[in-house]
Every structure is written in structure tokens, then in C-alpha cells.
Amino acid sequence: MKTGIIDYGAGNLRSVANAVHSLGIEPRIIDSPDGFDDVTHLILPGVGAFGDSMAELERRGLADPIRRWIADDRPFFGICVGYQLLFDGGDENPGVAGLGVFKGQVVRFPADGRKIPHMGWNAANPADASDPLWQGLGDAPFFYFVHSYYPVPDDPSLVAMETEYEGLRFASAIRRGRLLATQFHPEKSQQAGLRLLGNFLQ
């Protein structure tokens, strides 16, 4: 197993690398198109703005290799902005196209009294508790969130976990084939997050 972590200037890259390292795996940092060779698992982390992140992926020549990786159904884990970038575009930077792997938009929490960003620990409810990825996590594990935007997939069958924030339910994770993407940060979610990362890497 060789795990690659995409480096496009995302602020939490080192935290993700440290989490993977704590599971006994030495990750490879990928910052150019030729870094994908021999990698078996790919993680796309993210902290920051949608538009800036997408621009940096394009500038470093990483966007198309990521699209091809996902199209080949190879193990992929998108985290926070790395989850949002999988969709067509969104409210944060209108007119900026995402990776377009899935149809849907990334929308902002409504400004109707709830605190924005959604920050802190919250439960994520699996759509299919028998999925091996959720093994050992229980019925509603708690993970750490910090975000103002969240994806709304056109295809509801993608939704693998849902989270409620002050009366609004959103897709906190999606799953298709060997792809998993989460709005929460497993690398900041202590034992639950490490267990989920470990399940993915296995």
C-alpha cells in the first residue's frame, strides 16, 4: 500500500499526513502530475476557498490526474474542500468550475439565525450502517466540522452520511465505489477519525 496526499497549498496537509503516519503508513506528498506513479490510495485534503483551491490544482497540473484516478475507481478520499471540489461549482466563487466529478452545487448555510461557520463536533448518521467503511464507528459517530458551505449532490444515492445542524440536514459524506468524501475532518476527529481513515486505507 502506498498512500498519496495531494499538496496544493491546503492548510491541513500536514495534519492529514500525521494522521496517516500514526496508522503506520508513510504517505507520499504529491505536488505534480508525475507523483501518482505507484500510489494505491489517494487523499485530497482541503482548507480554504473553493476558487483558490481549484485554481491551484489547475496551476500544478493536478486536476486532470485526479479526475482520471476517480474515473478508474481507485481508492480516493476527499476531505472538506477536497470533498466540495468534486462538484460542479458553488456559492463561494460563482462561475468557478470544480472538478465536475459529480453533478451538484456547493451551497452556503442560510443566514437565518444559525451560527456560521458550523464549527465543532457533530454526529454523522450513516445511510448504510453495514458499509465496511463505518466498521467500529457505531450508529452516529461524532466528527469535527468547520465549514460555511456544503455540497448538495444531484444524485441522492451518493449520500453516505447525513448531519443535522440547527434544523438543516446536509450530506456530510458521499460514497461511490472506492471513493469516499467527507465534509468533516477525520484528521481532527481523534479516534473516530483515525478509525475511518484506517477503514479506508484497508
- Based on the residue annotation, tell me whether 187 is a catalytic residue of this protein: yes
> Which among 41, 118, 147, 185 is annotated as catalytic?
185
Q: Which residues pair with 76 in a beta bridge?
A: 42, 179
Beta strand ranges found along 58-136 (DSSP E): 76-79, 89-90, 104-108, 118-123, 125-126
172 touches 186 (CB < 8 A)? no
Identified catalytic residue from 80, 92, 118, 147: 80
Positive or negative: CA dihedral 125, 159, 42, 12: negative
Polymer length of the chain = 202
Residues labelled as active-site residues = 80, 185, 187
